[in-house]
Amino acid sequence: MTKTVHVPLDTRAYDIHIGQGLLARSGALIAPFLKRPRVAVVTDENVGPLHLEALRAGLADAGIEMSDLTLPAGEATKSWPHLTRTVDWLLDQKVERSDIVLALGGGVIGDLVGFAAAILRRGVRFVQVPTSLLAQVDSSVGGKTGINASQGKNLIGAFHQPTLVLADVDVLGTLAPRDFLAGYGEVIKYGALGDEDFFTWLEKMGPKLASGDVEARVEAVRRSCQMKADIVVRDETEQGDRALLNLGHTFAHALEAATGYSDRLLHGEAVSIGTALAFELSARLGLCSQEDPSRLRAHLRAMGMKTDLGDIDGSLPRAEALLALMAQDKKVVDGQLRFILARGIGQAFVTGDVPPQKVLEVLHDALAAPRK
């Protein structure tokens, strides 16, 4: 069973295929886009040993040769040195303007390789083969590519849409449960921001998804990608609506910075907690009923996900310091923090009109809450 989501962006339109066995069928799916039967593949040290040979075999079935580069795994790879190494390697492979570069990995590899493709020879095409749930539902779709700077995450980059996305749900089977649930935080985000029916479906199907139900996984990835595609088509370069996808991220980025972008808190975990805080803030501002944050937190808890600040190991900075970290966010405009708030589950909107005192109150209370 394969489902396809089309992203209708004029000359940059592409398909996202979601299903089983896509690595094995990669050659047939990619061949129509190739001028000559070869691709350059970049992966990382975690993903390569698990999936590189399956990809090689899938490509070879259609007579496509691949060369490959394996980078270290982890966020530190999204940096100038690894970008330089990748671009140099692609040039050494004599990748031409009409060739295709393939990113096999999670968000770090997808963002880095997409950016390398964007700047190589002023832009070559690339295919995303996302191997984490987070990458399948978020980072591989929509064309945001880039690396981190010492001043902050994702500050250097380009919009460069992929030519094709192959989301093979079989590869999710090799994820550690913690990584799967971190990606599920982004899935919930879609329901919470714009589709209450999807959220209700997730409340019912979440446990099946987590325990490996393939049909449920395909459907969750499809609905998430469809929603992301709809938003990206409305606002490709984030002048407006695309910011909705950052629900929970203003809080999340501060928490990630406070925990040193380390294993203490994965990005998707920070998004789960951040989404719960964004709903709490919305309720405190009288935008939605207190039942909405409670319902959201109940589902996160039922899934065994990080939900509250108390779920983060170790100490956290005080509320004032967290607020200061939020002010470093990319979404600050004219010194004013922009938040994604909600009038209910599935009804998010973007606003710059949030009194910092209310944010402080929410953080203060969240820090004071007893640990579970």
Residues that are catalytic = 122, 144, 186, 228, 238, 242, 246, 249, 253, 267
Q: Closer to ligand GLY by CB, 78 or 295: give it.
A: 78
Beta carbon of residue 142, minimum distance to ligand GLY (angstroms, whole number): 4
Beta carbon of residue 336, minimum distance to ligand GLY (angstroms, whole number): 20
User: Is residue 188 a contact residue for ligand GLY (CB under 6 A)?
Assistant: no
Beta carbon of residue 124, minimum distance to ligand GLY (angstroms, whole number): 21
User: Is residue 137 a contact residue for ligand GLY (CB under 6 A)?
Assistant: no
Q: Which residue has its beta carbon closest to ligand GLY?
A: 245
Instruction: Select the residue interacting with ligand GLY from 44, 111, 138, 280 (CB under 6 A).
Output: 138
Q: Closer to ligand GLY by CB, 170 or 241: give it.
A: 241
Q: Closer to ligand GLY by CB, 44 or 138: give it.
A: 138
Residues in region 226-245 near ligand GLY by CB under 6 A:
242, 245
Q: Which stretch binds ligand GLY (CB under 6 A): 109-117, 136-144, 270-278, 363-371?
A: 136-144
Beta carbon of residue 151, minimum distance to ligand GLY (angstroms, whole number): 19
SS3 annotation, the chain: CEEEEEECCHHHCEEEEEECCCCCCHHHHHHHHCCCCEEEEEEECCHHHHHHHHHHHHHHCCCCEEEEEEECCCHHHCCHHHHHHHHHHHHHCCCCCCCEEEEEECHHHHHHHHHHHHHHHHCCEEEEEECCHHHHHHHCCCCEEEEEECCEEEEEEEECCCCEEEEEHHHHHHCCHHHHHHHHHHHHHHHHHHCHHHHHHHHHHHHHHHCCCHHHHHHHHHHHHHHHHHHHHHCCCCCCHHHHHHCCHHHHHHHHHHCCCCCCCCHHHHHHHHHHHHHHHHHHCCCCCCHHHHHHHHHHHHCCCCCCHHHCCCCCCCHHHHHHHHCCCCCCECCECCEEEECCCCCEEEECCCCHHHHHHHHHHHHHCCCC
Residues in region 143-162 near ligand GLY by CB under 6 A:
144
Q: Closer to ligand GLY by CB, 142 or 248: give it.
A: 142
Beta carbon of residue 242, minimum distance to ligand GLY (angstroms, whole number): 5
Instruction: Select the residue interacting with ligand GLY from 19, 106, 142, 157 (CB under 6 A).
Output: 142
Residues binding ligand GLY (CB under 6 A): 138, 142, 144, 242, 245
